[in-house]
């Protein structure tokens, strides 16, 4: 019950204070430029990386990116910039 109230309060604050939902609700912000760049903010850490796959831990679940010729161009504790040919971006709710 407390979790539901917390969610309701966050939704209300987001609307009233005109704050971005990703900031208030611990959601990842994903910015893609075509099929060649993907920038992810507000993740919880890198779980796996290869030239064909990137897996990130999120506050709730995981983000899986599949493709080819992946190169991590920038990585910070909560931000990552990936380059390559992006074929799929999947949210895994586990």
Extents of the domains making up the chain: 26-92
Query: Does residue 79 have a pLDDT over 90?
Result: yes
User: CB-based burial of residue 10 (10 Å sphere; 0-12 exposed, 13-18 middle, 19+ buried)?
Assistant: middle
- Using the predicted structure, report yes or no on whether residue 80 has a pLDDT greater than 80: yes
Question: Average model confidence (pLDDT) for the chain?
Answer: 87
What is the three-class DSSP state of 26?
A: coil
pLDDT at 17: 65
* pLDDT confidence bin for 30, thresholds 50/70/90: very high
Greater pLDDT, 21 or 87:
87
> Do the beta carbons of residue 19 and residue 29 sit within 8 Å?
no
Q: Is the Cβ–Cβ distance between 79 and 61 less than 8 Å?
A: no
Q: What is the pTM of this model?
A: 0.74
Confidence of residue 57 (pLDDT cuts 50, 70, 90): very high
- Say yes or no: domain 26-92 is CATH 3.30.70.260: no
């Amino acid at each position: 019950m407390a979790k539901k109230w917390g969610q309701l309060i966050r939704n209300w604050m987001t609307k009233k204070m005109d704050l971005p939902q990703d900031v208030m609700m611990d959601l990842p912000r994903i910015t893609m430029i075509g099929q060649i760049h993907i920038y992810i903010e507000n993740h919880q850490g890198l779980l796996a990386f290869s030239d064909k796959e990137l897996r990130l831990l999120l506050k709730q679940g995981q983000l899986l990116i599949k493709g080819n010729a992946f190169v991590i161009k920038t990585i910070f504790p909560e931000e990552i910039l990936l380059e390559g040919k992006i074929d799929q971006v999947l949210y895994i709710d586990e």
